[in-house]
Amino acid sequence: MKERVITYERILLKTFGFIIHCVHPHKFVNSFVHSLEGSDELQQLAWNMLNDSLRTTLCVRFKGHVVAAGAIYLAARRLQVGGEQRCCCLPFPLSAITCPALLAPHC
């Protein structure tokens, strides 16, 4: 009985347009930081920011790789890594529209 209720609840939520599944950004951080040849400190700070982001709607509003790239960008700014202060310093697809919407609450 309980399983049927959960199944019907999911069907209703999907019908109403709710996103039931999202891709968590944590799985992208290790490969992104590694490809940027970043430090362990950068990776850990970005990971911590992603942990905090789970309390927000970011993982539903944006794709996982975008949130991960934003966390790495913010971590690099906080650690003062690199001289670039704009989104295009990341070799990942952060558009000029997505970047301010993603980072605005944190800058």
Q: How far is CA 46 from the centre of its chain?
A: 10
Between 102 and 79, name the one with better pLDDT: 79
Between 27 and 93, name the one with better pLDDT: 27
Mean pLDDT, residues 3-30: 84
Backbone conformation region of residue 69, classed left if phi is above 0, alpha if psi is from -120 to 50, else beta: alpha
Q: What is the pLDDT of residue 54?
A: 84
pLDDT higher than threshold 60 for residue 107: no
pLDDT higher than threshold 80 for residue 48: yes
Q: What is the pLDDT of residue 43?
A: 92
Between 30 and 99, name the one with better pLDDT: 30
